[in-house]
Amino acid sequence: MQLSGVINRFGWGERGLDLPQEASRDWLAAQLQGPDEARFTGVGDTADGLIALRTQRQEKLQGDPLLKPILRAEIATQLDGLLMTGQPFRERLAWFWFNHFTVSLRQGSTRGVVGAYMREAIRPHVTGRFEDMLLAVMRHPAMLMYLDNASSIGPDSPAGRKSHKGLNENLARECLELHTVSPAAGYTQADVTAFAAILTGWGIDMHADRPGFVFRGKAHEPGAKTLMGQVFPEGEEGGVQALHVLGTHPATYRHIATQLVGHFISDTPAPRDVARIVSVLRASGGDLGAASLALADLPDAGRPGGKFRAPMDYATAVMRALSLGGAPSGPDDPHAPAHSLLDAFAKLGQPLWTAPLPNGWSDRAADWSAPADMLARTDWAWRMAAHVRSGDPLDIAHAALGPALRRPTVLAMRQAGSRQDALTLLFSSPEFQRR
């Protein structure tokens, strides 16, 4: 397995010209076995974001004056992390799982907590057990707001009887369909309704000193519920038990294995690859670190160019290939590297943390390779390449693509009359569109 291929497939593209020295599997394993080395600066936690939201609402402030700075700081530090990370496999997994459990800025109230959500609910569990990540996600205010569970009320609960309000099935449905067992498990509308009832009361205490998750007994639907043939008791514990069952369900393992293989290996996951990852998940009790590393042992893991780069992948790989970034990005500096990257994500069609639907962004070629997509990439890369005033473009090309670099691309680059043109050719080559 070629290391440069692994760096692109499992990471975010080679940064600079210094390839790591280890064998590729060791390089991947070391990133998962050690602690998360990402350090985020200038950001608070979920409670800080919720306080800002509360203050804005109380004081009727227009234009998100308190949430915007929080979001800008998250963008600066997290995109700096993406550009600079020395653990690109771990970093890719973090963004993969964020996308799996998408929270989108299209729901405006998540602005102050979306960054904290990624840092608090996703990142700590990237190499841990899936069911732990699931529980952290389902209790996180960002998800409870985004998929409306904070306002779901058991119709027979004291609060429901008083207000004549009722269930909001949004989170329960998406959790079954997207996050865990998927429709392949054969659940019914009754199961969705039961799960929504199980999750009633899972909400946010906005009035606490440090606002955050709260279980509201008064909004919780009384009585035991039956979900997919299993009975769960009334109370918060019923939800925790349900999430344990869902988080370790064979159908869930099959679903997330399919998604992992789809993201890392091929747009059309081979059944034997999915089966292999399922078996690792089953044997390990849903250990995501073990499953992630098992991806690297699949037969097609090292075949170059098996996956088409989504805009985030593409823009990040271009900026890493050009060694852009380094000094921390000022949250308000429009020329900072993190903001160049943010701008690129938007221009290329994948604005940060803004997936249109709860199923997140696609990672399939067919969704990102329209004519306008390709031209947008070339035009953006051409503008980025204008800033490069040193270094041999061919060195950059070899470091970025290794043996995947094709001879026609080398020839075209050699004949380019300027560094900018040569780099634009590299970043517009078919092989650079892949990882």
Partner 1 sequence: MMLRRRSALLGLAASWTCGRASLALAGSGGGPDDPRLVVIILRGALDGLAAVTPYGDPDIATHRRDLLLPQPGREGGLLDLGGFYGLHPALAGMHDLYGAGQMLPIHAVAGHYRSRSHFEAQDYLESGADRRLDSGWLNRAVAALPGRGRRPDGYGLAMGLSVPLMLRGPAPVGTFAPAGSQHPDPALYSQIAALNAADPVTGPAFRDGLRARGFSDSVMEAAAPASGDGRKPDAFSVLSATAGRMLTAPNGPRVAALEIGGWDTHAGQAGRLKGPLSQLDRGVQALRGALGADWSRTVVLAMTEFGRTVRMNGTGGTDHGTATVALLMGGAVAGGRVGGTWPGLRQDQLFENRDLAPTTDLRAVAAGVLCDHLGVPGGALARIFPGTRGERMHGLVRVA
Task: List interacting residues with partner 1 (CB under 8 A).
Answer: 308, 335, 365, 369-375, 378-379, 382-383, 386-387, 389-393, 408-409, 412, 415-422, 424-425, 428-430, 433
Please give the Cα distance from 371 to 381 (Å, whole number): 16
**What residues contact 361, with CB distance under 8 A and at least 6 apart?**
99, 102, 310, 312, 350, 355
Q: What are phi and psi of 433, to 5 degrees?
A: -75, -10
Please state the closest distance from residue 373 (CB atom) to partner 1, in A. 7
Q: Helices 271-284 & 288-296, crossing angle to 10 degrees?
A: 150
* Least Cβ distance, residue 335 to partner 1 (angstroms): 7
- Work out how close the CB of 66 gets to partner 1 at its nearest, in angstroms, rounded to a whole number: 27
126 Cα distance to chain centroid: 11
35 vs 334, which CB is nearer to partner 1? 334
Whose Cβ is closer to partner 1: residue 210's or residue 387's? 387
Reference 385, options 400, 366, 365, 373; nearest CA is 400
Quote the least distance from Cβ 365 to partner 1, whole Å: 6
For partner 1, the closer CB: 265 or 274: 265
State the minimum distance, in angstroms, from the CB of residue 426 to partner 1. 10
Find all residues with CB under 8 Å of 30, minimum gap 6, and list them.
Answer: 22
Whose Cβ is closer to partner 1: residue 195's or residue 427's? 427
Rounded to whole angstroms, the Cα distance separating 45 from 124 reads 14
CB of 18 to partner 1, least distance (A): 19
Question: Which residues on adjacent β-strands are paired with residue 225?
Answer: 232
Give the number of other CB atoms < 10 A from CB of residue 302: 18
Q: Which is nearer to partner 1, 357 or 375 (CB)?
A: 375
The minimum distance between CB 267 and partner 1, in angstroms, equals 10
Nearer to partner 1, 102 or 428 (CB): 428
- Give yes or no for a contact between 227 and 242, defined as CB atoms under 8 angstroms apart: yes
- Please, what is the minimum distance in Å from the beta carbon of residue 262 to partner 1? 17
Residue 394, both tokens: 């061919």
Q: Report, in Å, the least distance between residue 150 CB and partner 1.
A: 42
Closer Cβ to partner 1, 254 or 377, answer by number: 377
Contact 112, 146 (CB under 8 A): no
Three-state secondary structure of 295-327? HHCCCCCCCCCCCECCHHHHHHHHHHHCCCCCC
Q: Which residue lies nearer to partner 1 by CB, 276 or 309?
A: 309
* Smallest separation (angstroms) from partner 1 to the CB of 424: 6
Nearer to partner 1, 52 or 396 (CB): 396
- Within 8 A by CB and 6+ apart from 300, the residues are 265, 266, 270, 273, 306
Q: How far, in Å, CA of 71 to CA of 134, rounded?
A: 24
Give the position of tokens 């590297």.
337
Q: 3-state DSSP call for residue 230?
A: strand
Our CB check for partner 1 shows the closer of 231 and 370 to be: 370
Signed CA dihedral, 262, 264, 265, 270: sign only: negative
